[in-house]
Chains A and B, each alone.
Chain A
């Protein structure tokens, strides 16, 4: 059985039961107390996840950079309003999701959702990544894996915004269903329904690759 996506992000997983055990929470408390070294450290911990989430949710690399900056500016600006009663990632991804959904609702922004056209030299994540079962020796299998990842990127970008957000938060960022529900302002049942529909849509679009 494949490892759960949440295991890939154990650096920010709480060691204990309470939010105070979350290393990100401890960092955020230091930011609130005025520790100037804490915010850059918090940025480095969370920015890669936030950036890639925003990039995939928006489907636009350049705008994703700006929105990622906006996310962390909001985190800093409203640091005094944050309450340490849950995981910090949930709060940060809520900000990111709201900014992205606002961006997607703008009629004047015709965002290209085909990420294949956005790729540059640094967008070689899919090229460099291999599926865990690509211990398959042949280069053909490796090429097939890379094709799958590219097609997956495009298929995710084609999902409706809420399905895409739920999928990215749950399957890629490893948030629990209740945290995804908090981010989306929804219920756990609704999140499960979104995830089911998203997964079915991806399997349909990627039937030639899977």
Chain B
């Protein structure tokens, strides 16, 4: 083994990282080379010196400053998260709440005597639509749904008439269970909420003063 090759392996030999074969070859070379033995001694001394360098305490106050920054970061993160949640709720929750409030007011504007327990009152829960659809449907029989809403818009403004008890009520949602139909104050028809935005002749909407979130009709 040449001196240059042996000296390249000296650090690994000192640290015990050399393979047994490499260690044996370096040892054989060192037996016959005084210069490399001197180099080995210097390498050992250097490695030992490096190993004792890191001693020393931390600067005073470093721990306090660092943990203080961490606490501020944690507080800012928590605050930002809460604010994001609030903005999300304000973006989606308030319009839905306003629409639900409008529906509630609409239902309560009906005469309480007209509500008979057990009677199908889903159509009564949105009386204007049912009442206004009912008349044109008798004459023109339009389909239920968007077309009905358009028909409802085209009819003149009328006070919704109470449903005749002898006639079966117009049931636009026959699949609803009776117990829900009996409690319109608990039932919020979501499709109807979206349709309410398109109704322009709704006295209840016009008459109610809601917090500043704009009219449903925009």
Q: Which chain A residues have a beta carbon within 8 Å of chain B's beta carbons?
A: 1-5, 8, 39-40, 43-44, 47-49, 51-53, 56, 61, 65, 68-69, 72-73, 76-77, 122-126, 128-133, 148-149, 152-153, 156, 167, 171-173, 195-196, 199, 202-203, 206-207, 210
Contacts and interface: CB of A to CB of B under 8 A. Distances in A.
Nearest to B59: A65
Contact of B66 (A61, A72, A152): A72
A171 B50 contact: yes
What is the predominant secondary structure among interface residues of chain A facing chain B?
Answer: helix
Contact of A47 (B11, B14, B63): B63
Nearest to A202: B46
A3 B11 contact: no
A18 to B, nearest CB: 23
Contacts of B54: 48-49, 52-53, 125, 172-173
B69 interface: yes
Contacts of A5: 15, 47, 50-51
A4 B67 contact: no
A51 B56 CA distance: 10
Given A199-B43, A210-B45, A172 B66 contact: no
A161 B123 CA distance: 80
Nearest to A131: B48
B42 A48 contact: no
Residue from B47, B51, B54 having most chain A Cβ neighbours under 10 A: B54
Interface of B: 8, 11, 14-16, 39, 42-60, 62-63, 65-67, 69-70, 73-74
B43 to A, nearest CB: 7
A125 B73 contact: no
A1 B23 CA distance: 13
Contacts of B73: 73, 76-77
B65 A69 contact: yes
Given A40-B67, A43-B66, A153 B53 contact: yes
A198 to B, nearest CB: 10
A4 B15 contact: yes
Contacts of B69: 69, 73
Contacts of B39: 203
A173 B73 CA distance: 29
B56 A125 contact: yes
B43 A126 contact: no
B48 A132 contact: yes
Given A77-B73, A125-B53, 14 more contacts: A4-B16, A5-B51, A39-B70, A40-B63, A48-B56, A51-B58, A69-B66, A73-B70, A125-B56, A130-B52, A149-B52, A152-B46, A152-B50, A172-B54
